[in-house]
Amino acid sequence: MNLLTVSGSPHVHDKDSVQKIMWGVVIALLPALLVSTWYFGISAIILTLISIVACIAFEYLIQKFVLKVNPSVTDGSAAVTGILLAFNVPTSLPIWQLLVGALVAIGIAKMSFGGLGKNPFNPALIGRVFLLISFPVDMTTWPIPRPFTTLVDAVTGPTSLGVIKEGLMKGETIDQLMAKSDTIHTALQQGHKLADLSGFIPSYTDMFVGGIGGSLGEVSAIALILGGLFMLLRKIISWHIPVAYIGTVLAFTGILWMINPANYINPVYHLFAGGLMLGAIFMATDMVTSPMSGKGMIVYGIGCGVLTVLIRIWGAYPEGVSFAILIMNAVVPLINKSMKPKRFGEVIK
């Protein structure tokens, strides 16, 4: 008779795996990539593929030759980092800069801490912030999306959050900015060819569907929400972080807007015009760098939301999602320590 296997219980497993989770995230990111390709052209796909290949290659090489361990790139986590990094840069970014970003993301933010599961900060965001600080011009030069490319001479345009921030800093009111933008809208509708799109603030529909300037993967709210719903259904993420994060931004900017609509844009722009959807659904929910308990996730989500608004409105950058998430990543160990799950039998009725 064969020898019997002996091991402790449980003797069955639900067959969920790191691979399944990571490839689930990849699938959830596909709609946003498709929308982006529609608006920015094939370069969106090319850039994403290069980023994936670079991240996987860097992880493989570092594991094989630097750490001298068995490469574990098949777990899919490097691919996810690759896609998210590409999603966080403009499609016009030079390839070599993207490669630098991938090396920073994988090499510094992930492998130097011990690889998957050990990194305190989201690798893709570290890569993005490194690029943003090193190449601020290239990283904030946004290609003009498809419906406008034939109507405008310039090949790059602003993001709406950038237009608003710049205008407000010059002392203009929201109403003046919107009026200026409206004249551009009218001109475009009448078929006038414009030199550039400065001062242009896109319509709600364009923001929701994705026809706006911005990073590769952040433009289409609807595609990102679809991906988020898929991940919710597959139980890859839970509702806590996205709801707390987006809810906080909505509440915070809503209050400001109600107090003084002349200086604060209405909250819909904060929801859809920047990287909030991508950040709240895909970046802040990164399992490795977010809290473990539901309670902790809500605190973390609120923290991300408050910081995002603070940076967007009073900070130096028009966009604050990356910084907000990275700062909250640093707080996660503290949250985990103080926000315990409710124990069975802890409260006596």
Partner 1 sequence: MKTFKLGGVHPEENKISANKVIEVLPLPKQACVPVTQHLGAPSTIVVEKGATVKVGQLLAKSEGFIGANTHSPFSGKVSKIDTIIDTSGYRRPAVFIDVEDDEWDESIDRSSDIRYEINLSRLEIIDRIKTMGIVGLGGATFPSHVKLMVPEGKKAMVLIINGVECEPYLTSDHRLMLERGEEMMIGVSILMKALEVNKAIIGIENNKPDAINHLKSLCSKFNGIEICPLKVKYPQGAEKQLIKAAVNREVPSGKLPIEVGCVVNNAGTAFAVYEAVQKNKPLIERVITVTGKSVKKSCNLMARIGTSVSELIDFAGGLPEDTGKVISGGPMMGKALNVLDIPVMKGTSGILIMTQKESKRVVVQNCIRCGKCITVCPMGLEPYKLAQLSEIENYEMSESEKVLDCIECGSCQFTCPAGRPLLDYVRLGKYEVGQIIRNRTKK
Q: Sign of the CA dihedral 143, 146, 147, 149?
A: positive
Q: Which residue has the tokens 């094939």?
A: 42
Q: For partner 1, give the closer residue by CB, 66 or 95.
A: 66
Taking the C-alpha atoms of residue 97 and residue 102, their distance in angstroms, rounded to an integer, is: 9
CB of 343 to partner 1, least distance (A): 4
Find the shortest distance in angstroms from Cβ 112 to partner 1: 15
By beta-carbon proximity to partner 1, the closer residue of 5 and 205 is 5
**Closer CB to partner 1, 25 or 207, in the complex:** 25
Instruction: Give whichever of 137 and 348 is closer to partner 1, judged by the CB atom.
Output: 348
State yes or no: residue 68 binds partner 1 (CB under 8 A): no
Q: Which of 125, 186, 229, 340: binder of partner 1 (CB under 8 A)?
A: 340
User: Given candidates 254, 293, 317, 327, which one binds partner 1 under the rule CB under 8 A?
Assistant: 293
Contact 120, 289 (CB under 8 A): yes
Smallest gap from Cβ 246 to partner 1, in A, equals 20
Q: Which of positions 302-331 make contact with partner 1 (CB under 8 A)?
A: none
Output the six-digit token pair for 69: 């361990």
Output 14 or 259, the one with its CB closest to partner 1.
14
Of residues 2 through 61, those in contact with partner 1 by CB under 8 A are: 2, 4-18, 20-21
Residue 72 or 173 with smaller CB distance to partner 1? 72
State how far the Cα of 270 lies from the Cα of 247, in Å rounded to an integer: 11
The nearest distance, CB 34 to partner 1, in angstroms, is 27
Helices (H), the chain: 18-40, 43-61, 77-87, 95-103, 123-134, 136-139, 146-149, 160-169, 174-189, 204-209, 221-233, 240-259, 267-272, 276-278, 294-314, 321-338
* Number of residues in contact with partner 1 under rule CB under 8 A: 45
Q: What is the CA radius of gyration of the chain?
A: 22
* Residue pair 49/40 in contact by the 8 Å Cβ criterion: no
Q: CB of residue 282 vs partner 1: minimum separation in angstroms?
A: 15
Reported as type and span, the H/E element at residue 62 is none
Under rule CB under 8 A, which residues in 103-122 are in contact with partner 1?
A: 114-118
Burial of 227 (0-12, 13-18, 19+ CB in 10 A): buried
Q: Residue numbers of the site for partner 1 (CB under 8 A)?
A: 1-2, 4-18, 20-21, 72, 75, 77, 114-118, 238, 287-293, 340-349
